[in-house]
Amino acid sequence: VPPPSQRCADPARRRALRGGLDALLQRALSPEPARRPASAAAFAAALEREQQRLGPAGRRHRRAVAAAAGVLVALGLGAGVAVVQAQRAAVASEREQAARAFVAEVFKLQAPASAAAQTPEAVLARSTALIEPRFEPAARAEMYGGLSHLLADMGAPRLAVEIGARRLAALEHAGAGTAERALAWRQQAAAQLDAREPEAAEASARHALELQPGDVDAELMRVRSHVARHRFADATPLLSAVEARLPANAPSLAAAWAQSLRGRLLLADNRRDEALPLLQRSVSTALMAAGPNSLDLVALRLADTDALLTADRSRELQAQLDAALATLDRLGGAHATRAALVSARMATARYTGFFQIGAEEALATIRASRVRLAALGQALPDEVTAPLDLYEATVLARQGDIASALPLIERSRAALEADARTPPERLRLGHTLGEIYEALGRHADADRYYRIALQARIDGGYAKHPVTAFQYMAAAHNLSAAGRSADALALLASAPDFPPVRGGGSANPNRYADLVTSARARVLLDAGRAGEALSTLPPAMLKPGEDRVSLYDAQVAFALRGEARCALKQSRDGLADLQHSLALATQTRDSSLDSDLARLHAVAGSCALALGDAATARREAEAARRDFAAFPQASDYRQAPWRRLQAALK
């Protein structure tokens, strides 16, 4: 690392830093921990001793000494912020490597106690105020480049983008060369993708291409920006052009990204069997091209992990996830933030969408992520903390524990809505809030959020993708519970014909189409049209395989058939179906707090009473009472059968 005196524009400050102060600061910046001061206090004491040693000269230049040293100390983000990763330095210019290491190591000088009080916004304001007047444009650009990467690593990508813009301005002011500015624009595009600003990322990639026409990395940034917005039709020809220019059988990060992006386009086209080998190949290519500590490799592993999740290939998923998290752990420092968020996100998806893990394991993972982030001793922005609230609330809501989920969502809802920039984020937010508000009986609010989720699927290019069946089903159920059966039936009629899917975790290839049909049966039953509901119910859902997804669908289907039969005075068969559904629920539901199951107990009790079986009716009424006592805010729709049963038993 060049001596800090070389980075000061002011001659007096340069003179003040030379000699002993330069040596002291160089020791503070040493890559060898044993050479560095043990703490910020030790560094301050050494600095004071050096000033005393200087005697009158030191006093004469006291302001210069303090100002120059202040550039270093006041930039502190707290102990534990990572040194810039080797794979980034390997492709950076020599000056930028030095600047990144300079910033990263200086950040280590501050004690955690002082860092905890600093938000990334405060760091941004202080750092830019210190850098602007003290460095020439070229040095400012290098400093901003390092600071941008560190902010991204600590989980503040939007602030990293803002610093990146300052870097670009400094490069322009310095009259930097074409290659240097093109690199900065590409790195800005990458930061904007991390910050979920794909439109801005495409604009930055175009700037890079204006400076270096035909640059493959910039073209891939454009493709990534389209895929991030689910603009698959726009991404396809761009990617084909890049693929045509890549050397055959030559491992490179560009080739790895091209393979991964092609796999994602195939997934969007519901061609999973072709997509998965490409996604896995992209990981192998990146490993050969960049080694095990590459952040690109981490991103490609996580893309493969997401695809394996939807394919219900849990063992392969776990291997890729473990490898990605291990890399982040090896890199250390601020990468712990990202590791914690990735762990929490994947645990949520594996439980709520695919039953690969139980609710308790998912909650334990999310809460461990909170503890891990708290241990960093840093103030974290809403864009880090709010998703953890959403993940935990999502798991709790799926369990049926709405009372615990609600305060988490309410405290973070504004931040989550402001930060939901992409279709996947709007989907997750809309569906979770829809579930919570539906359970509370706030059906108008639930309708709003369920429609946000459905529109997110459509905006994301998944209008006809089978998984969109969930959004039609959820929105229709809520409308039906609100007494709007005509609107619910109209919504279901607008759903496309979803194609069969194999290898999606269910023995029933027509599962997604059947979900829409079973939702129609639910609406008809709520509307008093039990006969039509019974004839509408898909037979395949009543003949499940051994997988948990099929058992879950069967639990819902037997509940529907049982309720319809009881409504048609076929009470004996209806009660048998309802009791079978409740038995299946012990295998597929993770909480006794589920008010939907409380409603089912009440329906079974009424059916038993119609048969003259008062003892069974009372047992079911008591089971419903216990569940509703744990969640008294449950909607009128869910509590109505229990109230009718109570009245009948009196």
Distance from C-alpha of 288 to C-alpha of 301, rounded to nearest angstrom: 14
501 and 512 Cβ atoms separated by less than 8 Å: yes
User: Which residue type occupies 539?
Assistant: P
Distance from C-alpha of 512 to C-alpha of 466, rounded to nearest angstrom: 6
Distance from C-alpha of 46 to C-alpha of 394, rounded to nearest angstrom: 51
Q: What is the pLDDT of residue 59?
A: 45
Could you read off the pLDDT of 172-213 as tens digits, one per residue?
999 999 999 999 999 999 999 988 899 999 999 999 999 999
50 and 22 Cβ atoms separated by less than 8 Å: no
Q: What is the pLDDT of residue 147?
A: 73
Mean pLDDT of 460-484: 93
Q: Which two tokens stand for residue 605?
A: 């009790």
Distance from C-alpha of 623 to C-alpha of 598, rounded to nearest angstrom: 7
Q: Which residue has the tokens 């009080």?
A: 117
**Of residues 132, 83, 80, the one with CA closest to residue 110:** 80
Q: What are phi and psi of 502, to 5 degrees?
A: -110, 150
Q: What percent of the chain has pLDDT over 90?
A: 48
Distance from C-alpha of 26 to C-alpha of 7, rounded to nearest angstrom: 13
Could you read off the pLDDT of 601-635 as tens digits, one per residue?
999 999 999 999 999 999 999 999 998 888 788 89
**Of residues 264, 263, 252, the one with CA closest to residue 296:** 252
**Of residues 589, 592, 595, the one with CA closest to residue 635:** 595
- Of residues 545 and 320, the one with the higher pLDDT is 320
159 and 342 Cβ atoms separated by less than 8 Å: no
User: In terms of DSSP H, where are the helices of 311-358?
Assistant: 314-331, 335-352
Q: Which two tokens stand for residue 334?
A: 């601020």
Mean pLDDT of 232-256: 93
- As a residue count, the chain comes to 650
Please state, in angstroms and as integers, the Cα–Cα distance from residue 589 to each residue in 503, 543, 552, following that order.
23, 19, 8
**Of residues 606, 213, 236, 627, the one with CA closest to residue 400:** 627
Q: Which two tokens stand for residue 68?
A: 């120059």
Could you read off the pLDDT of 278-336 as tens digits, one per residue?
999 999 999 999 999 888 999 999 999 998 887 778 889 999 999 999 998 888 766 77
* Exposure string over 242-280, b if 16+ CB within 10 A, otherwise e: beeebeeeeebbbbbbbbbbbbbbbbbebebeebbebbb
Ramachandran sector of residue 155 (left: φ over 0; alpha: ψ -120 to 50; beta: rest): left
Q: Which residue has the tokens 């080797």?
A: 86
Q: Which residue has the tokens 């550039």?
A: 71
Distance from C-alpha of 230 to C-alpha of 442, rounded to nearest angstrom: 31
Between 147-156, 333-342, 513-522, 636-645, the lowest mean confidence (pLDDT) is in 147-156
Distance from C-alpha of 228 to C-alpha of 231, rounded to nearest angstrom: 8
Could you read off the pLDDT of 593-606 as tens digits, one per residue?
568 889 999 999 99
Residue 338 has pLDDT above 60, yes or no: yes
Q: What is the 3-state secondary structure (H, E, C) of 424-487?
A: HHHHHHHHHHHHHHHHHCCHHHHHHHHHHHHHHHHHCCCCCCHHHHHHHHHHHHHHHHCCCHHH
Please state, in angstroms and as integers, the Cα–Cα distance from residue 102 to each residue in 2, 74, 324, 448, following that order.
9, 13, 27, 49
Looking at residue 215, the DSSP 8-state letter turns out to be -
495 and 516 Cβ atoms separated by less than 8 Å: yes
Q: Which two tokens stand for residue 391?
A: 């993940």
Distance from C-alpha of 442 to C-alpha of 434, rounded to nearest angstrom: 9
Q: Which two tokens stand for residue 442?
A: 């706030």
- Of residues 476 and 500, the one with the higher pLDDT is 476
pTM of the model: 0.66
Average pLDDT, the chain: 81
Q: Is the dihedral of CA 250, 251, 253, 259 positive or negative?
A: positive
Q: CA-based diameter of the chain, in Å?
A: 103
Kindly report the number of other CB atoms within 10 A of residue 414's CB atom.
Answer: 11
**Of residues 223, 23, 281, the one with CA closest to residue 4:** 23
The SS3 of residue 371 is: helix
The SS3 of residue 173 is: helix
Distance from C-alpha of 281 to C-alpha of 565, rounded to nearest angstrom: 52
**Of residues 65, 61, 63, the one with CA closest to residue 46:** 65
Q: Which two tokens stand for residue 506?
A: 């269910």
Distance from C-alpha of 334 to C-alpha of 356, rounded to nearest angstrom: 29
Could you read off the pLDDT of 61-100 as tens digits, one per residue?
444 434 333 333 333 333 233 333 333 333 344 444 444 4
